[in-house]
Amino acid sequence: MTETARLMVGTHLAAEMVANAAERAKKLQDETGVQPCLATVLVGDDPASATYVRMKQNRSKKAGIGSLSVVLPAETTTEELVAELGKLSADPAVHGILLQHPVPGHIDERAAFEAIDPGKDVDGVTMHAFAAMAFGEPGFVSCTPGGILRLLQAYDVPLEGAHAVVIGRSPILGKPAGMLLLASNATVTYTHSKTRDLAGIVRTADIVVAAVGRANFVRGDWLKPGAVVIDAGYNEGNVGDVHYEEATQVASLITPVPGGVGPMTIALLLEQTVDAAEAQTARIPRR
């Protein structure tokens, strides 16, 4: 069988976003002497998390964005992590803060996220960021959901009036993705592990956002013919949450894994770091 779905590739659009962020970072530094700086905080020695942090740091440097790395031992307490994030929030040389998640299980992740100054929450993980997304107020968006919206817009996917089904309700992916889709006038249904007849609900979707963290979870026969499929999962072996081979026979558009949502996430992180640096620099009194 031949594939019917067209790929929604994020690499080219992400490269344009990063190039634009790099230009703005250079302009800010040339005009004010301020180099945008992203602080990354890693707790523990999880290999996958360490790899993600290194990748984000490398992308930052290539975009002319300074990178400050904070690595804390796995036994770090919630109080110690909150204190470290408080220091970074108060440091005028740091413009954006990224806490690599998930953190070790003994840490209160929400308390840690809330220790980040909303003006430096360039990953969009605080309650302030979620409220801004929900109410359409100024603020930083969660990077993966924000990247998804930019990808949908770039591929001219009609959102107004479309039925979007979000599979997953994580506070930094599923929930904000639904809020951003709702703000674009889509009709949004959240589904999760307790949802009855999940496959039946997904079959009604014009747009499917899969964010469950389970390889090949969404099957091709779950999809309505012509649906747009956003696979926000990334599992061992470069496998997404959607059964790619099956889905491509049914969907009209689909994001590959890797190369779909992932590059957009990092690009938006860098873009928002420059946004934060510009905003903070504008508040610095001129002598």
Catalytic residues: 56, 100, 123
For residues 112 and 125, give the distance between their C-alpha atoms in angstroms, rounded to a whole number: 10
| Cα–Cα distance list, 64 to 97, 98, 120, 270 (Å) | 16, 17, 18, 10
CA 86 to chain centre: 23
**Distance of alpha carbon 153 from alpha carbon 253, whole angstroms:** 13
DSSP 240-259: -SB-HHHHTTT-SEE--TTT
In whole angstroms, what is the distance from residue 15 CA to residue 31 CA? 24
How far apart are alpha carbons 192 and 198 in whole angstroms? Answer: 8
Q: How far is CA 279 from CA 132, 172, 273, 283, in A?
A: 17, 23, 10, 7
Q: Which two tokens stand for residue 199?
A: 């496959």
Separation between Cα atoms, residue 167 and residue 193, nearest integer Å: 9
Which helix (DSSP H) or strand (DSSP E) does residue 148 occupy?
A: helix 143-154
Q: Distance between CA atoms of 38 and 27, rounded to whole angstroms?
A: 17
Pairing of β 96-99 and β 163-167: unpaired
